Chain A
Amino acid sequence: MNDESGIFLSAVGMIFSLDAALWEIVGLSLYISLMALFLASLLGLPLGSLLAVTRFRGHFFLSILLNAFMGLPPVVAGLFVYMLLSRSGPLGLLGLLYTPSAMIIAQTILIFPIIAALSRQHIENMNREFDHQFSSWGLGLTSRIKTLLWECRLSLLTVLLAGFGRAIAEVGAVMIVGGNIEHMTRTMTTAIQMEISKGNLELAMALGLTLLFLALSVNFMAYSLKAYANRQMGGAL
């Protein structure tokens, strides 16, 4: 048996033996990314909806800004949050640097533009289709947004999955603001980076395989949801 296949088999063994160190890291990664997804959705979906159904001063600039920030480099987001939360920063008193909270903030900043910009696109398309009908029914702004969010629910779920995918696979920002502290801020991506540098390839491989499995699961869910939506819409999507 050569080295590579030995590492691979050990990694698989670690996953199935429910290695405590491995699953602690996986659990923390999921917690941070899901919390970031929740917060980014809370902010991004209403903003995306507003941009989709209203026009106001600065609308064009805000739309461009959101689109541009979809490609925000994680290290830049990390640096921004670091400066904000560092002891001399404006929010330094909160003592959040090198805690999971700081990592959640950084990931929220990273995926918020993705959720806002992509949801705006979906909702805008739907609103264009329903505009006259909704006006005819006398829908106000709030009812219109609520109805559009519900009508776009399946497309928006794929947007949320895209946001989650970005968060869970991100390494730069969480490394800067989390510090990769064992039992506290160590996530899958930061751990992989560290274990490779230490030469502990079994654990790095086990984490990599788990991350790959999560990424595949996210894509599988997105694909299944689209197929389900297509069936629901009678093949209209």
Chain B
Amino acid sequence: MILPLKLENVCYQHQNSRHDDRMEALKNINISFEAGIKTVILGPNGAGKSILLKLCHGLLEPTEGHLYWNNLSPEEIRKNQAMVFTKPCLLNRSVWENLDYVLKLQKISREERDKKTTDILNRFGLSALKERAALQLSTGEQQRLSFALALSFGPTILFLDEPTANLDPRATATIEHLVLQAHDQGTTIVMTTHDLLQARRIADRIIFIDEGRIIEEGNATSFFAAPKSPEARDFLCGRLSE
């Protein structure tokens, strides 16, 4: 088990090469992610939510501080996590070939790949689209395929960076259903979103970030009922009144 994941005094700075100065995107983050909990990271635009997710997933290196996984090798850590991005990133191949490619990366034999691809396509309702070019699918279908590609790794923890930001309500509901289904099957969920109603529907735990700092963190029900910080109260009021 790779969890819990602990972040200690993590900072991240963007290098602004034009002015040779540094912009601090995350400041002194101390947080941990336990197994089996659905965590939603909330915050306004530019708060540092996506950067936090990318740091956790290893796509970015912290400029200060450390991330601690549960005493596993870097290879095992990498194999046990996956990420779904806001914009689906798919190969210029058919739906079937996209899945086959990702399974091939996992060094799965041809026969097993064929079987697994069929299973995954059925599970994600993509069987009828298997011959279609992935880039010709609707955005909702593309995101569903991205989700299937990520889950094909069998991750212990799944990071989702605003996965429904560009989707209509129906596609959003499908993705939310898949998130909850993945959680029920034992995957720990860490997700960012702008959608407060979605956060209410999904989260067990909320981390509220503003200007690169964790302002508030705790149980989702308590957070929405009575946010402790003025920043979170303003954020919720502003959002809910829209």
A residues whose Cβ falls under 8 Å from a Cβ of B: 129-130, 132-133, 135-139, 143, 147, 151, 232-234, 236
Q: Tell whether, in the assembled complex, residue A234 and residue B89 are in contact, meaning their CB atoms are under 8 Å apart.
A: no
Is B78 positioned at the interface, with any CB of A under 8 Å from its CB? yes
> In the complex the two chains form, what is the Cα distance from A130 to B98 in whole Å?
14
B residues whose Cβ falls under 8 Å from a Cβ of A: 54, 57-59, 78-79, 82-83, 85, 89, 91-92, 101-102, 105, 133, 135-136, 150
> In the complex the two chains form, what is the Cα distance from A130 to B59 in whole Å?
12
> In the complex the two chains form, what is the Cα distance from A143 to B83 in whole Å?
19
> In the complex the two chains form, what is the Cα distance from A138 to B82 in whole Å?
10
> In the complex the two chains form, what is the Cα distance from A135 to B105 in whole Å?
12
Q: Tell whether, in the assembled complex, residue B82 and residue A136 are in contact, meaning their CB atoms are under 8 Å apart.
A: yes
10 residue pairs from A and B, CB less than 8 Å apart: A132-B54, A132-B83, A133-B85, A136-B57, A136-B59, A138-B105, A147-B91, A232-B133, A233-B92, A233-B135
> In the complex the two chains form, what is the Cα distance from A138 to B102 in whole Å?
10
A229 nearest in chain B by CB position: B92
* CB of B24 to closest CB in A, whole Å: 21
Which of the residues B105, B135, B150 comes within 8 Å of A236, measured between beta carbons? B135
* CB of B116 to closest CB in A, whole Å: 16
> In the complex the two chains form, what is the Cα distance from A130 to B149 in whole Å?
14
What 13 additional pairs, Cβ within 8 angstroms, besides A136-B57, A138-B79?
A130-B89, A135-B59, A136-B59, A143-B105, A147-B91, A151-B91, A151-B92, A232-B92, A233-B92, A233-B133, A233-B135, A234-B135, A234-B136
Q: Tell whether, in the assembled complex, residue A132 and residue B59 are in contact, meaning their CB atoms are under 8 Å apart.
A: yes
B161 nearest in chain A by CB position: A132
Q: Tell whether, in the assembled complex, residue A139 and residue B91 are in contact, meaning their CB atoms are under 8 Å apart.
A: no
* CB of B17 to closest CB in A, whole Å: 14
